[in-house]
Structure 1
Amino acid sequence: MPHTDRILSSGRASLAAAVPPVALGPLDGRYQPAVAPLVDHLSEAALNRNRVHVEVEWFIHLAEHAVLPGLAPLGDEQKAGLRRIVTDFDTDAVAELAEIEAVTVHDVKAVEYYIGRRLPALGLGHLVPLVHFGCTSEDINNLAWALGVKDATTDVWLPAARALVADVAGLAESAAGTPMLSRTHGQPATPTTLGKEMAVVAHRLGRQLSRIERTEYLGKINGATGTYAAHYASVPDADWTAVSRGFVEALGLTWNPLTTQIESHDWQAELYADVARFNRVLHNFCTDVWSYISIGYFQQIPVEGATGSSTMPHKVNPIRFENAEANLELSNALLDVLGATLVTSRWQRDLTDSSSQRNIGVAFGHSLLAVSNVRKGLARLDVAEDVLAADLDQNWEVLAEAVQMVMRAEAIAGVEGMDNPYERLKELTRGRRVDAERLQEFVAGLGLSPQAAQRLSALTPATYTGIATELVRYL
């Protein structure tokens, strides 16, 4: 992994890698630029950096609270030096850690030794035994994963998803008054506006983002089977639950008081279900937009120099939305498996979660790539208002609903001759096209009250949209 000088907002060096010469997966090759920000949170290198971070902060926490006899708070320079082990974690550190792990054949033990090597230079060589004190590997791993997933979600995925929702909401607002023929079951139906239909999508996506924003990221640090047995055996007078809770919360996580060896991962399953639901709504949006493009409601703005088809020069293919569909499906396949796998552990511990969690970044990567593609696709769309208007004008039969309901209201008001409104409109419209002249002739012969007749005579498919325009304000 090549060295990079880019610095994260946390002060840590970026771990994002350049595109490797040969990549097994597309997220590390063809699509690497779109998903690179996730590398700093969900890659193997980021996991190890977060492990170092947890170990260092646990070391400082134990010293600051003088939990063990003989411990005293550290000096500012010592704490700063310890935290530099994290902020200086770069590609050279990744290589060194790999060398240690090749000997230990244990990733978390390698982290412990990596930190221990650096303590003498800080005047803390006598405290090497404090590194990883009272911990099982999963104490470090669950916190490292929680930090990585939290940062990836809040710093990378959520901002991208919010920007997408803002794009859809912007389209909803700009097209709020643009009338459009609805299609229920694929058939012409009561008109709406393009903006209102886009607002529905923005509202649905926004609700899922609200759920994701409320995610609790849980963590634990309580020993080999969640009993604090080693803690109380070594230091029986300490309030270890208070020490544990204070540490987990200081990391910005929610303390889980009851676990086996592992933190139960329920919060992860909940988060992945919410992200998957967002993905599914977005997938539905992609298929709808693709369909609107295919019937001409949207026109795609050609990219200068781009090729739509290798043999048909007239084509501009909706590839952004098609690409997004595939990536959303791949993301959800992984998110669904993660959600199902992570909530199950044999008795107090098995390692199925270890292998599964290494694919969290891939799951988020495919979703992030899809979001990027949808945004790019939306940016190249124009609303074809003339096509929308022509489609409405060819389907006057959609006003049959309005005529029928006016007849019902008239009957209730005591107007004569309003019998069997549904059946009469069915006979007029079922299986046939009805133009403006034929519909107006039918309405004129009904014997409606003057007010009702005036309302219906003024109605067109383009104006039969109810309060669709006003509904966009609920975004």
Structure 2
Amino acid sequence: MDRTVYQEPLVSRYTSLEMQELFSEQFKFTHWRRCWVALAEAQHELGLKLVTREMVEELRAHIDDIDYEVAAQKEKEIRHDVMAHVYAYGLCCPKAEPIIHLGATSQFVVCNTDLLIQKRALALIKKALVNVIANLAAFCAKHAGLATLGFTHYQPAQPTTVGKRNTLYIQDLIMDLEYIEHLEQQVKARGAKGTVGTQATFIELFEGDHEKVRELDRRVAAKLGFDQVFAVTGQTYPRKLDMKTAETLAGIAESAHKFAVDLRLLSNLKMQEEPFAKKQVGSSAMAYKRNPMRSERMTGLARKLMGLPANFSATAANQWFERTLDDSAIRRMDMAQAFLLADAILRLYVNITSDMVVYPNQIGKYLRTELPFMATEKILMACVERGKSRQEMHEVIRDHSVAAGLAVKEDGVDNDLLTRLAQDARIPFALEELNAMITDYTAFTGRAEEQTHEYLREVVTPLLGRHRDLIGGVDASLKV
């Protein structure tokens, strides 16, 4: 690593080698050459006499031996990256040199390669997403019945269960997965469309044979690994697709952000934590700290990704007529960053959910503190069953509840509402009876446990079954 110049942290710190390789120059430029081979081979198969089998084989033999220095020097001279690589390829393939890029425009190689990269990158994202869902499903099953405080407005609310809460994260991720699978169907080849999408040059090459030109389009796409091709394009494939891709990836970031922030809040309450390495340092000054570093990192990366769709939207909206070049520089950065960010986020998500830690005793402590307030309706009904007036009991319980809550806040004492009620002669229950009313936490969680098992059984398990070939094999280890 050259430490005297800026290095992209997404590459050096956060992302998988597989995603980095997809967006590497090696992958891009070798696949430009694969596009040229596919075009020449299809032209030869369809009877274009200018292109011989010998030329095609020469091109195929030199896909990987790229002289980057020659290409870079030529680009500096002519200010055109595609023609610089046509030149470098031609030096390797003197027999085929006259027919390289025949009938094509620069976006033939650029767009088709970009689409191929995105297709493969989406597959990596999908695999990681499925693995997060699988991790969370196991966690939900394990903690389906573990009662915990619910929170609304980050204030204590009616209890739920740890498992039920985490089904909400799964539900978000399943929506993301569905959008990914829809997007996969939208990623098609640009094919061989010519300069502005009319295939005019190919019609000339094939002497007006429209069927051969249509077949050329289909064959090139198939040779590049696509089963669909855009029926119509301008000079580029529709930049609307880029916007939808960015929105879909940003949706994953939103889901991850929600989970990460919740886990950070739970970490503060000491109820639930992300994994903490044996030698991990939480603070350079405060040695006792166990900061939720992974969740914090995931939050920051997600924030960056959630901001990218606006760039893609502006680019798509600003493509004048068949195309304008202001899409080039920004896409070189943003498309790679969008996928790298999603990759980094999901690797963290897999890592965190593989070994989350839950503290039932601490959860119970918070429940015991807040349940007396939440049990007041139950106590009220029990008083009525013993012959007391509902209105009178409501007023008595309300007065004691306000006083107990004020004491907790002003004096820092424990919640003594049940003791206050037991000492009031108007309440027909002893302290032991009142305590018994809140002993079973699950009596306050409604159908949370049942909902968790039902959701896992009816929704999550079938989905994971359909994607069983994607489970496992995700390197979620942290570089730093």
- TM-score, normalization: structure 2? 0.78
Name 1:132's counterpart in structure 2: 101
Q: Which residues in structure 2 correspond to 1:70-469 (within 5 Å)?
A: 74=53, 82-86=59-63, 88-89=64-65, 93-120=67-94, 125=95, 127-154=96-123, 156-215=124-183, 216-220=186-190, 221-234=192-205, 235-239=207-211, 240-253=213-226, 254-299=228-273, 302-359=276-333, 360-379=335-354, 381-396=356-371, 397-400=373-376, 429=401, 432=405, 435-436=417-418, 457=437, 460-469=440-449
| 1:300–1:164 distance in 2 versus 1, CA, 3 Å | closer
Corresponding residue SS for 1:166: helix
2:13 paired residue among 31, 34, 55: 31
Measured after TM superposition, the shift of residue 461 of structure 1 is 3.7
| 1:358–1:400 distance in 2 versus 1, CA, 3 Å | farther
| 1:401–1:98 distance in 2 versus 1, CA, 3 Å | farther
Corresponding residue SS for 1:272: helix
| 1:119–1:303 distance in 2 versus 1, CA, 3 Å | same
- TM-score, normalization: structure 1? 0.79
Task: State the Cα deviation string for residues 170-208 of structure 1 (Å, max 9, x = none).
Answer: 222221111100011122111111111111101211220
Corresponding residue SS for 2:122: helix
In 1, distance between residues paired with 2:202 and 2:423? 89
In 1, distance between residues paired with 2:394 and 2:249? 44
CA RMSD of aligned residues (A): 3.5
In 1, distance between residues paired with 2:56 and 2:149? 66
| 1:80–1:175 distance in 2 versus 1, CA, 3 Å | farther
In 1, distance between residues paired with 2:440 and 2:421? 10
In 2, distance between residues paired with 1:97 and 1:299? 51
| 1:466–1:165 distance in 2 versus 1, CA, 3 Å | same
In 1, distance between residues paired with 2:416 and 2:61? 76
Corresponding residue SS for 2:234: coil
In 2, distance between residues paired with 1:136 and 1:402? 75
| 1:164–1:95 distance in 2 versus 1, CA, 3 Å | farther
Corresponding residue SS for 2:17: helix
| 1:21–1:236 distance in 2 versus 1, CA, 3 Å | same
- Structure number having the greater helix percentage: 2
In 1, distance between residues paired with 2:450 and 2:271? 22
RCO higher in 1 or 2 (8 Å CA, sep ≥ 6)? 2
Q: Is the 8 A contact 2:252 2:342 kept in 1?
A: no
Name 1:62's counterpart in structure 2: 43
Name 1:12's counterpart in structure 2: none
In 2, distance between residues paired with 1:97 and 1:436? 81
Q: Is the 8 A contact 2:145 2:163 kept in 1?
A: yes
Name 1:6's counterpart in structure 2: none
Aligned residues: 430
Greater Cα offset, 392-401 or 279-288? 392-401
| 1:368–1:402 distance in 2 versus 1, CA, 3 Å | farther
In 2, distance between residues paired with 1:210 and 1:439? 52
Letter in 2 for 1:367: A
How high is the sequence identity, in percent, across the aligned residues?
Answer: 21
